């Protein structure tokens, strides 16, 4: 029977845990998300089992077992195939009651490997194969009773495209900020990271928006976010940045204890957005700051702003911002080309002081214009790069006689 139920069976080392408990007179069963993954043929990174053995006896049966939750509610048993989370069944109401506490029907099943039997009192098996997320009980909401279940649900939506039913969505709409923040912050940050690395983060964004959970978390929803995430590059940090537009990203990510380096990049990206408001096509200092942003991030920011402006209704303001963005991109390309050429050209045989002496002027914009002029000429003809030749060229040159690449600063 198990062969028909489980698409992937646990390793022999895992099964030995069940046998060892049975030899001591304690039945054990696999349950929760790890069982759901085995049923679908996706071996999980962890195994969860429940047993009638009390916590005090688990520590005697398995000498290397370590309690991982207060009061010995969960013990981790090391095996050659990885750790097993062993949960003593402290519910005197029976198996169905213990399974109902799993929250989702697809988690509320029990597989007894030594009997090759599946207990499925809430029809979780059919829900699992239908890709349907359904609550065992809707009142009271299991998400407020067990907020960690929110993370499991969001992860399954993002990774496997499973769909919450209407009752599940309604329960999500009642989740409070207090319930969310009762989840350990490291878990929240790790789950968000997985969601934006997953194949379908946009599905989660839509769900959070439809249930209002994003606003309760301090994220200002924007109508185009999910569609932009679907269209952008597979860059988890960029996807996260799209979601946090208009919010206070640094504060939000710190509260979730999000990966620091990725969080810093999100803040840098959003501090530069929108580009046409934060950078000027007419100021060299502004172009220098924009050029200092990594090229991939610059392109991502241009792409984002172009898509945003495309989605706006026609108006004079939108048209003005579009033109400003076009001008900014053109000026940046010219600036980068100029910098590239300057790096390729050899050092002048006449330094700034020599140029000022030859022109009889002090420091100022004319010196920069003279340097640009000499570099262009030397790049055309390296033979000119001698002090006497350069002085001779300066005698025939005057500020303004050639275009300047240094706009007003």
pLDDT, tens digit, for every residue of 363-391?
Answer: 888 888 898 889 888 888 888 999 999 99
> Does 146 lie in the same domain as 123?
no
| C-alpha triplet 72, 73, 76: angle, nearest 5° | 75
The answer to whether position 109 is within a domain reads yes
**Of 403 and 109, the one with more pLDDT:** 109
Distance CA 129, CA 105 (A): 12
CA angle 271/272/275 to nearest 5° reads 145
Domain shared by 115 and 143, yes or no:
no
Query: Within this chain, do residues 23 and 110 fall inside the same structural domain, yes or no?
Result: yes
Report pLDDT for 24.
Answer: 93
Domain contains 193: yes
| Residues 74/86, Cβ–Cβ less than 8 Å | yes
Nearest to 33 by CA among 159, 186, 167: 159
* Residue 137 confidence (pLDDT) above 50: yes
pLDDT in the model for residue 186:
92
Domain for residue 188, yes or no?
yes
The pLDDT > 70 percentage for the chain reads 95
**Under 8 Å between Cβ of 129 and 12:** no
Residues 34 and 61 in one domain: yes
159: Cα within 13 Å, side-chain hemisphere: 13
Question: Any idea what the CATH number is for the domain that residue 43 is in?
Answer: 3.30.460.10
pLDDT at 45: 72
**Tokens in use for 88?**
């003593």
Tell me the per-residue pLDDT of 161-215, one tens digit each, with 9 for 90 and over: 999 999 999 999 999 999 999 999 999 999 999 999 999 999 999 999 999 999 9
Q: Is the pLDDT of residue 234 over 80?
A: yes
Picking from 233, 257, 273, the residue at the C-terminal end of a domain is 233
| Strands, sheet with 66-67, edge to edge from the N-terminal-most edge strand | 66-67, 75-77, 84-88, 47-51, 28-31, 110-112, 117-119
For residues 160 and 120, membership in a common domain is answered with: no
Quick one: how many helices (H) and strands (E) in the chain? 24, 9
Which residue among 103, 130, 157 closes a domain?
130
Where does a domain end: 130, 156, 175?
Answer: 130
pLDDT, residue 198, reads 95
Residue 99 placed within a domain: yes
* Domain of residue 25, residue span: 2-130
Within this chain, do residues 24 and 90 fall inside the same structural domain, yes or no? yes
- 171: domain CATH number? 1.10.110
Main-chain dihedrals φ then ψ at residue 47, nearest 5 degrees? -125, 135
- Please give the tally of structural domains in the chain: 3
Q: Are residues 159 and 213 in the same domain?
A: yes
pLDDT digits (tens, 9 = 90+) for 90-116: 555 688 888 998 999 999 999 999 988
How far apart are alpha carbons 118 and 345 in whole angstroms? 75
Whole-number pLDDT of residue 150:
96
* Within-domain flag for 209: yes
Query: What does each C-alpha distance from 11 to 18, 71, 84, 125 come to in angstroms?
Result: 12, 29, 12, 22
Inside any domain, residue 47: yes
The predicted structure's pLDDT at residue 327: 97
Residues 101 and 146 in one domain: no
Q: Please report, for residues 87, 200, 296, the alpha-carbon distance to residue 146 in angstroms, rounded to integers and kept in the order given.
A: 16, 24, 41
Question: Which region among 1-5, 131-135, 250-254 has the lowest average model confidence (pLDDT)?
Answer: 1-5
User: Tokens 């960690």 label which residue?
Assistant: 148
Evaluate if residue 145 carries a pLDDT over 80.
Answer: yes
Q: Establish if 164 belongs to a structural domain.
A: yes
Give yes or no: residues 213 and 170 share one domain.
yes
In this prediction, residue 346 carries a pLDDT of 73
Reply yes or no on whether the pLDDT at 399 is more than 90.
no
Q: Same domain, yes or no, for 14 and 107?
A: yes
Clarify whether residues 18 and 114 are in a common domain.
Answer: yes
Average pLDDT, the chain: 90
Residue 308 falls inside a structural domain? no
Based on the domain organization, do 114 and 148 belong to the same domain?
no
The tokens for 210 are: 């439809």
Query: Percent helix, strand and coil across the chain, each rounded to 5?
Result: 55, 10, 35
The yes-or-no verdict on residue 47 having pLDDT over 60 is yes
DSSP code at position 11: P
């Amino acid at each position: 029977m198990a062969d028909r139920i489980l698409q992937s069976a646990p390793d022999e080392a895992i099964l030995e845990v069940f046998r060892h408990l049975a030899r001591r007179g304690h039945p054990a069963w696999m349950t929760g998300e790890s069982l759901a993954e085995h049923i679908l043929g996706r071996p999980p990174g962890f195994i969860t089992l429940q047993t009638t053995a009390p916590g005090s006896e688990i520590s005697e049966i398995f000498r290397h077992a370590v309690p991982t939750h207060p009061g010995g509610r969960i013990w981790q048993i090391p095996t050659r195939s990885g750790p097993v989370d062993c949960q003593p069944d402290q519910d005197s109401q029976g198996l169905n009651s213990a399974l109902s506490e799993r929250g989702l029907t697809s988690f509320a099943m029990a597989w007894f490997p030594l009997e090759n039997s599946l207990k499925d009192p809430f029809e979780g098996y059919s829900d699992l194969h239908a890709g349907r997320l359904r609550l065992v009980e809707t009142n009271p909401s299991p998400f407020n009773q067990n907020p960690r279940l929110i993370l499991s649900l969001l992860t399954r939506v993002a990774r496997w495209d499973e769909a919450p039913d209407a009752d599940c969505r309604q329960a999500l709409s009642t989740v409070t900020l207090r319930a969310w923040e009762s989840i350990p912050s490291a878990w929240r940050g790790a789950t968000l990271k997985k969601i934006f690395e997953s194949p379908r983060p946009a599905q989660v964004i839509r769900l959070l928006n439809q249930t209002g959970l994003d606003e309760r978390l301090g994220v200002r929803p924007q109508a185009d976010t999910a569609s932009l995430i679907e269209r952008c590059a597979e860059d988890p940090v960029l996807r996260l940045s799209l979601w946090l537009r208009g919010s206070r990203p640094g504060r939000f990510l710190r509260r979730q204890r999000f990966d620091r380096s990725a969080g810093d990049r999100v803040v840098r990206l959003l501090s530069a957005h929108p580009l046409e408001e934060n950078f000027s096509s007419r100021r060299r200092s502004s172009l220098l700051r924009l050029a200092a942003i990594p090229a991939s991030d610059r392109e991502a920011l241009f792409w984002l702003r172009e898509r945003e402006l495309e989605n706006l209704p026609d108006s004079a303001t939108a048209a003005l911002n579009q033109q400003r963005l076009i001008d900014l991109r053109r000026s940046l390309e010219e600036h980068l080309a100029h910098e590239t050429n300057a790096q390729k050209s050899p050092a002048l045989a006449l330094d700034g002081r020599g140029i000022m002496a030859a022109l009889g002027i002090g420091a100022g914009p004319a010196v920069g214009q003279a340097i640009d002029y000499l570099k262009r000429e030397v790049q055309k003809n390296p033979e000119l790069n001698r002090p006497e030749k350069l002085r001779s060229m300066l005698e025939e040159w005057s500020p303004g006689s050639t275009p300047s690449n240094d706009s007003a600063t």
